[in-house]
Amino acid sequence: MTLNFCRELSAADWIAHSDLPWQQLVGLGPAGFDAYARLRFLPDPTRPGQSENDADADWPTDQLPTLFEVLATHTTTPEDCYFCVWEGFAGVDVNAAADDDAVYIDEEDTAPLERPGGQPGLAPTPAAPPSMPRAPKVVVPHRAYWLFRGPLADVGTWDTAAEWPGQRRLRNAEPAFTWPADHAWCVAKDVDPHWAGIGGTRALITQLTTDPRLDVVPADPTQDQPLYR
């Protein structure tokens, strides 16, 4: 089996149409789960304004494969999962046209992009040459993502996904959102925090926080989370 690039984006509506503050959404994922946690790739800062350069360099960083291994046992659809990949990870193919439909937003007061007809969630895209079709994106304030679907075990194989236009290379890109078709859990990993957010059942979060291979701590999504500056 292989991943498939999705041109139909309705599976991501629970993210694109969320009314959560955008930092909470991209940091911990959508609302509705019984419990939340953070998988830390660096220790939390110990003082205000601390830089990541001052963090413990020996902290375990390669934890996502183990996390996905555990999560595969907590869904009825491990062969049917969705992955949002941030457009900022895209490299440029020397044979490709310029990415005129880039939609990354960096202004705090910019409104969400809208679907045709006024519904938020899909970046408007200009007409593209027949040989280089533009890829639709899932959009939230300040971020836009390509959507892929397939087995959880195939996470990361974006460049070989069926139907992927191929004008952008996504080598080594980690998914910004990962969830199974049954919505048993969701993992959110934004580019700025030093952790990934996880939403799921209380039993799942308890298992993750007690797994010695992972550095997972409970999180209250209504509170500010630790961040480096």
The string of pLDDT tens digits covering residues 33-92 is 999 999 999 999 999 889 988 887 677 768 999 999 999 999 999 999 999 999 999 864
Q: Among candidates 142, 197, 148, which has minimal Cα distance to 170?
A: 148
Q: Among candidates 192, 176, 175, 198, which has minimal Cα distance to 226?
A: 192
Question: What does the domain layout of the chain look like in residue ranges?
Answer: 4-95+113-122+134-219
C-beta of residue 96 within 8 angstroms of C-beta of residue 129: no
pTM above 0.95, yes or no: no
pLDDT at 101 > cutoff 50: no
Confidence of residue 1 (pLDDT cuts 50, 70, 90): low
The string of pLDDT tens digits covering residues 153-205 is 999 999 999 999 866 788 789 999 999 999 999 999 999 999 999 999 999 99
Measured between alpha carbons, how far is 184 from 204 in angstroms, rounded to an integer? 10
- Cα 140 vs. chain centroid, distance in angstroms? 11
The string of pLDDT tens digits covering residues 36-51 is 999 999 999 999 889 9
Residue 4 confidence (pLDDT): 97
- Go through the chain and tell me how many residues it has: 229
Confidence of residue 108 (pLDDT cuts 50, 70, 90): very low
